[in-house]
Amino acid sequence: MFSDIYTGIEQRKETNNDNGYLMKVKPVVDVYETPHSVIILAEMPKVDKKDLHINIEKGILRIQGKRENNLAEGDYLLRETADVIYERFFELEENLNQEVIEANYSSGVLKITIAKKEQAKPRKIEIQ
């Protein structure tokens, strides 16, 4: 159906930012197929919906989310958490309809449903 085009990228990269660490993480995904669509479930915990982005350009699906751990007040005495940028790319095959995509986010999981083109859907052929 499609392929993860950046399978060789490190799972986690840490860099310093103003608040401590910024981790770049490839989110864990499950991908499955139904007769009418392909569904991607991406775990992106504690990301605000406004910080999630899904783009398609030249047949490449990009999912991205950013999680910031900011204190409302006070100073850290110990900090083991980090700000996180989640990012993953998928190359979509031609049998998927890039115009019919739905996405929702619930309980830290981003669900993307990509419809198959009509000719890619299974159909029953009557025997005469």
Over range 107-119, report the average pLDDT. 93
> Are 25 and 85 within 8 A, CB to CB?
yes
Per-residue pLDDT of 74-92, as tens digits, reads: 887 887 778 899 999 999 9
Q: Which residue range is the domain that position 11 belongs to?
A: 2-71+80-120
**Angle made by CA atoms 18, 20, 25, in degrees to the nearest 5:** 105
Whether 24 is covered by a domain: the verdict is yes
Report the half-sphere exposure of 119 (CA within 13 A, side-chain side). 2
Instruction: Check whether 105 has a pLDDT greater than 80.
Output: yes
Q: First and final CA of the chain: distance in angstroms?
A: 32
Instruction: Check whether 73 has a pLDDT greater than 70.
Output: yes
Cα 73 to its chain centre, rounded Å, is 31
Its pTM stands at 0.78
Alpha carbons 59 and 44: distance in angstroms, whole number: 23
Whether 125 is covered by a domain: the verdict is no
Whether 128 is covered by a domain: the verdict is no
Of the candidates 126, 86, 94, the one whose C-alpha atom is nearest the C-alpha of residue 2 is 94
Query: Mean pLDDT in the chain?
Result: 84
Whether 41 is covered by a domain: the verdict is yes
Q: What is the CATH number of the domain that holds 39?
A: 2.60.40.790
Number of Cβ within 10 Å of residue 72's Cβ equals 4
| pLDDT at residue 8 in the model | 40
How many domains are there within the chain?
A: 1
123 CB burial (10 A radius; 0-12, 13-18, 19+): exposed
Whether 21 is covered by a domain: the verdict is yes
Per-residue pLDDT of 48-67, as tens digits, reads: 999 999 999 999 999 999 99
